[in-house]
Structure formats: C-alpha cells, structure tokens
Amino acid sequence: MQLQDISCPEAKEVLENGGQLVDVRTAPEHQQGTIENSIHLPLQDIYGAQNVLDDKKPIIVYCRSGARSAQAKMILNSMGYRYVHNLGAINNINSC
C-alpha cells in the first residue's frame, strides 16, 4: 500500500511557497534527527494542532515509515485542515 501522496519535487515546491512541514514522530525519534524548519507535533498530540499549525497554509506530514503520517493526515482532515499531504517516511525527503 502506497502511503505517500506527494512527490519529493511537489513537496519542495509546497515548502518553498510557505507550506508547513510537520514531523509526527515521537520525541526520542525526533531527537535522533529531523528536517530543518520542520514542526515537531507527535501523532499523540495532533489534536492540539490548532495551537501550532496555520489552517490556511498547506501541511506536509512525515514520520519514520509513513503509517503515522497517514493517520495524522486523516485526523487533520477531520479537524478541518484542507491542504494536508503525506510525504511518508523521513527518508523520502532526505533523499530529495
């Protein structure tokens, strides 16, 4: 099953135009390495997104494998965030 719904070049374009990159991994995973300028919002805290994320800007979520970011995308969509993309695994953007 393909969890990623945005390509690397598309993600770069979204981010260059003000999109928000969101890391939904746990704190220990985040401490092992992250992507510059990403927002750390663990999946378990995703319901607090309204305090962190701008609902008018596109959001790109990622995690270790893509499964949690897929969940985060569904939750954010259910909360009213319209422009949410799942980049999938952190390695997807690191390999761009």
96 counts as catalytic: no
How far from chain centre, in Å, is Cα 77? 12
Catalytic residue among 63, 76, 87, 90: 63
List residues bridging with 60 in a β-sheet: 21, 85
Q: Is 59 exposed, middle or buried (0-12, 13-18, 19+ CB in 10 A)?
A: buried
- The residues assigned a catalytic role are 63
